[in-house]
């Protein structure tokens, strides 16, 4: 027996696929896997089959045509073809996570392309899929062009390739946002966007912080937030979360020493910081706050709000170091500091402090 790949177009009508499979079965061909690609011309069926050694390419083409298939393409396959498509895609995604520079090779393997090239000009409105060429927009700029003589590309393959490029673009943006901070005391920490995979490290951060630090961060209560609440902070619907890490000890690759959250709501965003006690008063909080403001400015928010206990002198000093006008509203022991941003402030006019009732309500449900 020998492995073959067969691709053929079948009219998308009830029973037509069964006619094709019956024709193959009459020749002793065993279908191992099948993928269906929907196109305007009909359903393109992609089979991996195990055929008797006596059958050749012409025999398989004839069997497909007798089964009402058309535009048939047949080629010998290898044992690795037995890996199902989702598993192959996940393997390529894992490879991209480890090496984002391998995007072109991942596209070649995904689609079995004969040639993959990158060009600096964007794909433009002419991008898309043709019979032997495919043009894909690179999220980081430029475009990838793929060529394959046989079989013809399908819209489903185009969608898969573009999804893989979106993953590669996300990894590139993540790496671009990853920076090493050298603090005034010459200590170093890596700051990067947080993900839900940081949950264990963030839980350890909260457990390592004093009750006073946690209370200053969450305004009420000194206990550790639930894992569910922390997971939501790490993956906000609007905004961004950052973590600062240092090399870990033992089996841990890194330890989280600070977390910064920017949560968007309407035209404004709320910022909050938690820095491990032994990393406080070293300039880390100021660096994280400035990066949050940069994210908020690029996202087009008009202002960033910080809700601070009046006794939290370190946080108030951090805000003053920004060197910006920061209106402050007081509600008992709670201060709401408004940091105007340049992008929206220039077009919206003067940014005043929020209404006190609104600010207090947001402070109670933040985080």
Give the DSSP letter string of 20-46.
HHHHHHHTTPEEEEEEEEEETTEEEEE
Count of alpha carbons within 13 Å of 26, Cβ hemisphere only?
Answer: 13
Place of tokens 């950052």: 242
Q: What is the mean pLDDT of residues 78-103?
A: 81
In contact, 171 and 96? CB cutoff 8 Å? yes
Residue 349's pLDDT band (cuts 50, 70, 90): very low
Whether the link from the prior residue into 151 is cis, omega within 30° of 0, is yes
Ordered structural domains, the chain, with CATH: 2-81 (3.30.70.260), 85-175 (no CATH), 178-340 (3.40.630.30)
Q: What is the pLDDT of residue 288?
A: 95
% the chain with pLDDT above 90: 53
Distance, C-alpha 163 to centroid of its chain: 11
Highest mean pLDDT among 178-182, 303-307, 347-351: 303-307
Q: In the chain, which residue ranges form alpha helices assigned H by DSSP?
A: 16-26, 57-66, 85-98, 103-111, 155-176, 199-208, 211-218, 227-234, 284-299, 313-320, 342-348, 356-365
Number of other residues whose CB lies within 10 A of the CB of residue 247: 11
DSSP symbols for 321-338: TT-S---EEEETTEEEEE
pLDDT at 366 over 70: no
Nearest to 279 by CA among 259, 260, 261, 257: 257
Distances, alpha carbon 324 to alpha carbons 164, 261, 293, 319, in Å: 42, 20, 12, 8
* Sign of the C-alpha dihedral computed for residues 78, 82, 84 and 88 taken in this order: negative
Q: In 39-126, which residue ranges form alpha helices assigned H by DSSP?
A: 57-66, 85-98, 103-111
**Using one digit for the tens of pLDDT, what is the confidence trace for 159-179?**
889 899 888 887 777 666 788
Q: Which residues lie below 8 Å from residue 160, measured CB to CB, with a gap of 6+?
A: 89, 110, 111
Q: What is the mean pLDDT of residues 229-240?
A: 91
Distances, alpha carbon 51 to alpha carbons 9, 70, 150, 330, in Å: 20, 19, 21, 79
C-alpha 41/C-alpha 310 separation (Å) is 69
Token pair of 271 as six digits: 């910022």
Distances, alpha carbon 121 to alpha carbons 60, 142, 143, 165, 171, in Å: 42, 5, 6, 16, 21
C-alpha 114/C-alpha 88 separation (Å) is 18
**Using one digit for the tens of pLDDT, what is the confidence trace for 203-220?**
999 999 999 999 999 987
Q: Which residues lie below 8 Å from residue 73, measured CB to CB, with a gap of 6+?
A: 6, 7, 8, 150, 151, 152
pLDDT at 345 over 60: no
Q: What is the mean pLDDT of residues 288-295?
A: 93
Q: What is the pLDDT of residue 357?
A: 39
Residue 346's pLDDT band (cuts 50, 70, 90): very low
% the chain with pLDDT above 70: 90
CA geometry: angle 10, 12, 13, nearest 5 deg: 110
In contact, 78 and 56? CB cutoff 8 Å? no
Q: What is the pLDDT of residue 356?
A: 44
**Using one digit for the tens of pLDDT, what is the confidence trace for 36-50?**
888 877 789 999 999
Q: What is the pLDDT of residue 360?
A: 43
Q: What is the mean pLDDT of residues 142-153?
A: 91
**Using one digit for the tens of pLDDT, what is the confidence trace for 114-127?**
999 998 888 776 56
Average pLDDT, the chain: 86
């Amino acid at each position: 027996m020998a492995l073959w790949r067969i691709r053929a177009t079948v009219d998308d009508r009830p029973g037509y696929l069964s006619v094709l499979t019956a024709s193959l079965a009459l020749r002793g061909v065993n279908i191992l896997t099948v993928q269906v690609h929907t196109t305007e011309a009909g359903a393109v069926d992609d089979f991996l089959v195990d055929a008797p050694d006596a059958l050749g390419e012409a025999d398989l083409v004839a069997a497909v045509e007798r089964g009402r298939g058309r535009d048939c393409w047949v080629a010998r396959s290898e044992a690795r073809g037995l890996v199902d498509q989702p598993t192959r895609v996940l393997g390529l995604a894992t490879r991209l996570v480890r090496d984002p520079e391998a995007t072109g090779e991942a596209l070649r393997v995904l689609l079995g392309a004969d040639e993959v090239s990158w060009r600096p000009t964007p794909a433009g409105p002419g991008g898309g899929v043709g019979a032997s060429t495919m043009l894909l927009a690179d999220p980081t700029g430029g475009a990838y062009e793929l060529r394959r003589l046989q079989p013809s590309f399908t819209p489903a393959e185009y969608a898969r390739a573009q999804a893989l490029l979106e993953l590669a673009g996300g990894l590139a943006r993540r790496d671009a946002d990853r920076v090493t901070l050298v603090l005034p005391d010459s200590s170093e920490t890596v700051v990067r966007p947080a993900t839900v995979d940081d949950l264990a490290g963030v839980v350890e951060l909260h457990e390592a912080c004093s009750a006073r630090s946690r209370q200053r961060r969450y305004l009420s209560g000194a206990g550790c937030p639930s894992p569910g609440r922390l997971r939501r902070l790490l993956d906000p619907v609007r905004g961004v979360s950052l973590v600062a890490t240092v090399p870990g000890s033992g089996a841990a690759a890194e330890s989280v020493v600070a977390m910064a959250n920017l949560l968007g709501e309407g035209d404004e965003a709320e910022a909050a910081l938690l820095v491990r006690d032994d990393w406080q008063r070293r300039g880390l909080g100021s660096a994280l706050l400035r990066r949050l403001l940069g994210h908020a400015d690029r996202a087009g928010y008009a202002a960033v709000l910080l809700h601070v206990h009046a006794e939290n002198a370190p946080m108030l000093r951090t805000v003053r170091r920004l060197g910006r006008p920061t209106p402050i509203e007081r509600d008992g022991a709670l201060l709401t500091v408004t940091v105007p941003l340049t992008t929206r402030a220039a077009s919206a006019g003067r940014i005043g402090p929020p209404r006190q009732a609104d600010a207090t309500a947001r402070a109670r449900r933040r985080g």
